[in-house]
Amino acid sequence: MSYAYDPQQARTAVLAYSGGLDTSVAVRWLIEEMSLEVVAVAVDVGQGGDWDALRARALAAGATRCVVVDARDELASEYAFASLRANALYEQKYPLVSALSRPLISKHLVAQARLHGARAVAHGCTGKGNDQVRFEVSVRALAPDLEMISPARVWGMTREQSIEYAKRHGVPLDAKKSSGGDIYSIDQNLWGRAIECGVLEDPWERPPDDVYELTVQAATEPCEIVISFEEGVPVALDDRALSPREMIEEVSRIVGSYGWGRLDMVENRRVGIKSREVYECPGSLALIMAHSDLESLTLERDLAHEKARLEPRWAELVYDGLWFSPLKEALDSFMISSQRYVSGDVKLVCEPGRCYVAGRRSPVALYDWELATYDAADSFRHSDAEGFVRLWGLGVETWAARQARRGSGGESASDVG
Ligand code: ARG
């Protein structure tokens, strides 16, 4: 008789666990309704929180085990900085906060599923959002043999019913969150913070002040910061070498303290719903602004223009859950190659409510002062311009001359040809 691992026999599911009501109810639901054992996996992507309390809650809900994985450095260097290379903004605004963490969390879910010989991976997303798409497409890309379970999509409970279910099964509730005091749905990581639900569901309603945490203005004195890049990667802040994670945390903290980095937008979800989203992204928006500015100094024109065409595509793929896809991989190769000379410094000025680029320099700049200047040191060969401009306009000139002849009545359209 063989004891080889048989996924059909395995009784374990790995659940993406956040510590909130829905994923706590999901633990119990997988046990009760599907007779599975649950390994709760929480991935630290910089959302903050009390990990001991989270562990206790997972176990109290019935999980056999609760694993907390610190993936902050990985999120920063492999996901956020890849996004930075592509200056990725979905619909030209949103720096992909949640869209970046889901493939990373999926990767860790699959790793834990292997470790525990699990048969299935589960998540707590509803059927209306993008995150279900990202989890499921990512997990399938990495482990096509694993079953995907999405309890919240199956059970169809309202929030009240979830609370009722939790009480009935002795699932502990976070008092603040289940009392109705927690009206917003929040998703946060190093790259920013997304806020949905409550009054924000009316796109005309101004976001109340209490939705903001990372962009509350406290600093009043303007400041300058210098971000140094090497091949597209920010490596030092005011000459201080920082790890990718430290860089994002520091820039977020500084820029956020000036009350800058907010977005309020209506966004097209992959599932066809328009939704009103409020974001706080001080670090990611400041880094993207600095990085793309340095590119304006260091990228050759055709490369810059082609890159600008591919950037929205990269953002859209990642938004749509296709992080692990051949096109995204190919575009990454392009993005990496484009960054060879994106090295240098960018100066940002922070003032209450504002953050902007106020200078850039690079040892490999394509900006050539002797070519650009209008003063005596000018090295540009003005005589070259004459022939260039004439040939550049030759086609238009020929066309215009013909129009003029036709206008004077000398030819009919059928004579032309
Ligand atoms: N709309 C954003 C996105 O799709 C934010 C999603 C936030 N997720 C959440 N579970 N609250 O990326």
Output the domain CATH number for residue 253: 3.90.1260.10
Q: Is the pLDDT of residue 319 over 60?
A: yes
pLDDT tens digit string along 108-121?
A: 999 999 999 999 99
Residues 157 and 118 placed together within one structural domain of the fold: yes
Residues 158 and 204 placed together within one structural domain of the fold: no
Residues 200 and 322 placed together within one structural domain of the fold: yes
Within 225-300, residue ranges assigned H as helices are 244-256, 282-298
Tokens of 224: 């300058």
Look at residue 199 and tell me if it is in a domain.
yes
Look at residue 52 and tell me if it is in a domain.
yes
Q: Which atom of ligand 1 is nearest to the CA of 277?
A: 1
Mean pLDDT of 362-383: 91
Residues 165 and 261 placed together within one structural domain of the fold: no
pLDDT tens digit string along 55-86?
A: 999 999 999 999 999 999 999 999 999 999 99
Catalytic pick among 28, 83, 131, 162:
131
Q: Is the pLDDT of residue 36 over 60?
A: yes
Look at residue 168 and tell me if it is in a domain.
yes
Query: In this predicted structure, what is the pLDDT of residue 2?
Result: 45
The pTM of the full predicted model, rounded to 2 decimals, is 0.94
Has 185 been annotated as catalytic?
A: yes
Look at residue 85 and tell me if it is in a domain.
no
Within 64-190, residue ranges assigned H as helices are 72-74, 81-85, 97-115, 131-142, 151-155, 159-168, 175-178
pLDDT tens digit string along 132-146?
A: 999 999 999 999 999
Residues 168 and 56 placed together within one structural domain of the fold: yes
Residues 210 and 277 placed together within one structural domain of the fold: yes
Q: How far is the CA of 74 from the centre of ligand 1 (A)?
A: 20
Residue nearest to atom 4 of ligand 1 (CA): 130
- Ligand 1: residue of 130, 274, 278, 319 to mutate (most ligand atoms within 8 A of CB) is 130
Query: In this predicted structure, what is the pLDDT of residue 135?
Result: 98
Q: Is 26 in the pocket of ligand 1 (CB under 6 A)?
A: no
Where is the domain boundary, 139, 160, 179? 179
Look at residue 2 and tell me if it is in a domain.
no
Query: In this predicted structure, what is the pLDDT of residue 1?
Result: 42
Residues 57 and 108 placed together within one structural domain of the fold: yes
Query: In this predicted structure, what is the pLDDT of residue 183?
Result: 82
Residues 397 and 293 placed together within one structural domain of the fold: no
Look at residue 237 and tell me if it is in a domain.
yes
Residues 307 and 338 placed together within one structural domain of the fold: yes
CATH of the domain at 174: 3.40.50.620
Query: In this predicted structure, what is the pLDDT of residue 49?
Result: 92
Residues 134 and 32 placed together within one structural domain of the fold: yes
Has 131 been annotated as catalytic?
A: yes
How long is the chain?
A: 417
Look at residue 410 and tell me if it is in a domain.
no
Report the interhelical angle of 97-115 vs 301-319 (nearest 10°). Answer: 60
Residues 209 and 157 placed together within one structural domain of the fold: no
Tokens of 285: 């928006």
Query: In this predicted structure, what is the pLDDT of residue 414?
Result: 54
Where is the domain boundary, 158, 179, 200? 179
Nearest alpha-carbon partner for 362 in 380, 346, 384, 340? 346
Residue 174, domain extent: 7-72+96-179
Compute how many other C-beta atoms are within 10 angstroms of the C-beta atom of residue 169.
16
Pair 325, 317: CB distance under 8 Å: yes
Give dist(CA 403, CA 383) in Å, integer.
30
Residue nearest to atom 1 of ligand 1 (CA): 277
Q: How confident is the model at residue 158 (pLDDT cuts 50, 70, 90)?
A: confident
* Count of the separate structural domains present in the chain: 3
pLDDT tens digit string along 325-342?
A: 999 999 999 999 999 999
Has 22 been annotated as catalytic?
A: yes
pLDDT tens digit string along 196-232?
A: 999 999 999 999 999 999 999 999 999 999 999 999 9
Mean pLDDT of 170-176: 75
Tokens of 199: 């009054």
Query: In this predicted structure, what is the pLDDT of residue 153?
Result: 94
Query: In this predicted structure, what is the pLDDT of residue 174?
Result: 72
Mean pLDDT of 253-258: 98
Tokens of 281: 């992204």
Q: Is the pLDDT of residue 412 over 90?
A: no
Mean pLDDT of 250-268: 98
Order of strands across the sheet that contains 233-237: 240-241, 233-237, 223-230, 344-351, 354-361
Cα→Cα distances 90→50, 57, 151, 169, 416, Å: 31, 35, 29, 41, 49
44 DSSP β-pair partners: 70
Phi, psi at 355, each rounded to 5°: -150, 125
Where is the domain boundary, 162, 179, 196? 179
The HSE-up count of residue 367 (CA atoms within 13 Å, CB side) is: 16
Would you list the DSSP string of 208-245?
PGGG-SS------S-EEEEEEEETTEEEEETTEE--HH
Look at residue 332 and tell me if it is in a domain.
yes
Nearest alpha-carbon partner for 280 in 81, 47, 7, 10? 47
Residues 126 and 255 placed together within one structural domain of the fold: no
User: Which residue matches tokens 């602004």?
Assistant: 289
Cα radius of gyration (the chain): 27
C-alpha dihedral over 241, 244, 249, 252, to 10 degrees?
Answer: 90
Catalytic pick among 77, 185, 264, 345:
185
More confident: 380 or 141: 141
Task: Give, for 335, the enclosing helix (H) or strand (E).
Answer: helix 326-338
Q: How confident is the model at residue 417 (pLDDT cuts 50, 70, 90)?
A: very low
End-to-end C-alpha distance for the chain, whole angstroms? 86
